[in-house]
């Protein structure tokens, strides 16, 4: 390919300089196929095996007993049997971490005095003080309560967010953003149901975080789309092109933000789970990791193509083929400057005449950066106030 000199020769270089020219809209079917797979797998798995609901949703009692060579899953079962608790209906698992290992025992609701006997039994069997054993009790109605309230909060949140995006941007963007968000949450739920991770209140928090993060990311991307839309208003640029240009422009930002967001989560995953066996932080961090990656992916591959599709059916007719390859690249690079792209010199950037972009109307998107800005902008006049 013949590229002008100012375009970096290597892929990463172009990425770094914001000179990529990926035809995201053209590859929208990838996003569609992945989304369909995610939805089908999640729903199938939900029907087939459901979610592995934790103590807080089913009610019951749970202990975290420090594990040792003398105390493991079998010994815990013995203690339960001694106290007439059916082992079959209980969950017993060993949670190993570097510094602290626990045998996590979860049973259905039993009276307090019996629970206390079991606690004492565990303490005796494991050879530890009673206070070293963590104990949790949840009534069965509590989980329903939490879930109901969370769902209610979620529904209200979604309505408010849809209204907010409709006002701040437009309703089609609200639809696209919520679709991308649903995609991300479904993906995270899918991970939980396919691998049968235990769903705890921490998991609900992880889902909510994913939801918020996904929306946040989509809004950042849409903001650029909206800005570019205004910029190309006079050029009658097809919407798909506007979306493509915007995606390429925010690509580096998306990657940077993802790295910045994911680094702490990875640190949580590696360090936290090594020390925090008790709350299954590993699964929590894993859900976050999947969800955040999905959030970045979906805002580019799901939300934006969907938006372009929604818009292209109603919007202006395009006069020509979509920009691809080097043409797209030129447009991506050329549109980086703030202000309008327009022929009317007086109208362009009226509030800041020194920076006006001196270009031909239709050629605007085909100009390399050097020619868009034929001379370095004059510094602003110093005005003393």
Partner 1 sequence: MKRRLWMSFLATTVAVIAIFTANLATGTTPLLGLDLQGGASVILEPAEDASGEDLTVIRDLIRDELERSGIAEPNVRVQGDTIVVELPGVKDQQAALEAVDVSGIVELRPVVESSECSSGFAPETPLDGVSVDPVSVPDDTVGRRSLRTPSEPTPVLDLPLLPDESGLPPTSGAELLPTRDGQVLCVGPAQGTGEVFERQSAVVDNSLGFQVNVELNGGTGPDGRTGTETWNTLATQCFNGTPTCPRTIPGSNGQLAIVLDDVIQSAPSVNQPVFDGAVSITGSFTQSEAEDLANILNRGAFPVEMVAQEAQTISPAAGQESLRASVIAGFIGLVLVLIFLLAYYRWIALVILGGLTIWAMTVFSVAAFVSSATNYSLSLAGVTGIIVAIGVTVDSYVVFFERMKDEIRNGRTLKNAAPRSFKMTWRTIWSADLVSVIGAAILFSLSVGSVRGFALFLGITTLCDLFVCYFFTRPAVLLLARSKFMAGRKAFGLEVAS
Site for partner 1 in 157-176 (CB under 8 A): 157, 160-161, 164-165, 168
Q: Which stretch binds partner 1 (CB under 8 A): 33-41, 248-256, 298-306, 322-330?
A: 248-256
Q: Which of 106, 249, 282, 304 touches partner 1 by CB under 8 A? A: 249
Does 208 sit near partner 1 (CB under 8 A)? yes
Site residues for partner 1, 346-375, by CB under 8 A, read: 352, 355, 369, 372-373
Q: Does residue 68 touch partner 1 according to CB under 8 A?
A: no
Per-position x/- string for 302-331, each x denoting binding to partner 1 as judged by CB under 8 A, each - no binding? ------------------------------
293 binds partner 1 (CB under 8 A): no
User: Rule CB under 8 A: is residue 5 a binding residue for partner 1?
Assistant: no
Per CB under 8 A, which of residues 174..193 are in contact with partner 1? none
By CB under 8 A, what part of segment 44-63 binds partner 1?
56, 61
Closest approach, Cβ 146 to partner 1, in A, equals 6
According to the binding rule CB under 8 A, does residue 139 interact with partner 1? yes
Q: Specify the residue, 37 or 163, whose C-beta has the smaller distance to partner 1.
A: 163
Task: State which residue, 45 or 287, has the beta carbon closest to partner 1.
Answer: 287
Q: Verify binding: residue 111, partner 1, rule CB under 8 A.
A: yes
Nearest to partner 1 of 33, 275 (CB atom): 275
**Residue (46 or 97) nearer to partner 1, CB:** 97
Which segment (37-45, 103-111, 299-307, 309-317) binds partner 1 by CB under 8 A?
103-111
Site stretch for partner 1 (CB under 8 A), options 87-95, 132-140, 319-327, 359-367: 132-140
Task: Please state the three-class secondary structure of the chain as a single string.
Answer: CCCCCCCCCCHHHHHHCCCCCCCCCCCHHHHHHHHHHHHHHHHHHHHHCCCEECHHHHCEEEEEEECECCECHHHHHHHHHHCCCCCCCCEEEEECCCCCCEEEEEECCCCHHHHHHHHHHHHHHHCCCHHHCEEEEECHHHHHHHHHHHHHHHHHHHHHHHHHHHHHCCHHHHHHHHHHHHHHHHHHHHHHHHCCCEECHHHHHHHHHHHHHHHHHHHHHHHHHHHHHHHCCCCCCCHHHHHHHHHHHHHHHHHHHHHHHHHHHHHHHHHHHHHCHHHCHHHHHHHHHHHHHHHHHHHHHHHHHHHHHHHHHHCCCCCCCCCCHHHHHHHHHHCCCCCCCCCCCCCCCHHHHHHCCCCCCHHHHHCCHHHHCCCCCCCCCCCCC
């Amino acid at each position: 390919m013949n590229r002008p000199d100012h375009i970096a020769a290597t892929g990463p270089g172009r990425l770094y300089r914001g000179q990529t020219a990926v035809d995201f809209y053209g590859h929208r079917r990838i996003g569609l196929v992945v989304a369909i797979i995610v939805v089908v797998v999640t729903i199938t798995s939900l029907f087939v095996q459901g979610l592995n609901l934790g103590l807080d949703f089913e009610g019951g009692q749970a202990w975290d007993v420090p594990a040792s060579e003398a105390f493991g899953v079998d010994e815990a079962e013995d203690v339960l049997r001694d106290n007439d608790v059916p082992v079959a209906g209980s969950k017993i698992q060993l949670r190993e971490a570097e510094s602290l290992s626990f045998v996590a025992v979860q049973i259905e609701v039993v009276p307090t005095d019996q629970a206390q006997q079991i606690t004492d039994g565990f303490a005796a069997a494991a050879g530890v003080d009673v206070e070293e054993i963590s104990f949790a009790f949840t009534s069965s109605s509590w989980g329903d309560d939490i879930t109901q309230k969370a769902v209610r909060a979620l529904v209200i949140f979604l309505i408010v967010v849809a209204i907010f995006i409709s006002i701040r941007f437009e309703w089609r963007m609200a639809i696209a953003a919520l679709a991308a968000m649903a995609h991300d949450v479904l993906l995270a739920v899918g991970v939980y149901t396919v691998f049968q991770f235990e769903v705890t209140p921490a998991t609900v928090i992880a889902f909510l975080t994913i939801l918020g993060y996904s929306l946040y990311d989509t809004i950042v991307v849409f903001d650029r789309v909206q800005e570019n839309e205004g910029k190309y208003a006079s050029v009658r640029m097809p919407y798909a092109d506007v979306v493509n240009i915007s995606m390429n422009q925010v690509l580096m930002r998306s990657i940077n933000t993802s790295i910045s967001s994911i680094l702490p989560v990875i640190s949580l995953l590696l360090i936290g789970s090594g020390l925090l066996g008790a709350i299954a932080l590993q699964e929590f961090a894993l859900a976050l990791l999947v969800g955040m990656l999905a959030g970045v992916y979906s805002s580019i591959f799901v939300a934006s193509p969907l938006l372009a599709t929604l818009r292209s059916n109603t919007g202006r007719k395009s006069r020509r083929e979509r920009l691809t390859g080097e043409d797209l690249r030129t447009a991506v690079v050329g549109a980086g400057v703030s202000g309008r792209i327009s022929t009317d010199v007086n109208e362009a950037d009226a509030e800041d005449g020194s920076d006006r972009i001196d270009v031909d109307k239709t050629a605007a998107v085909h100009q390399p950066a050097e020619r868009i800005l034929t001379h370095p902008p004059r510094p602003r006049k110093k005005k003393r106030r």
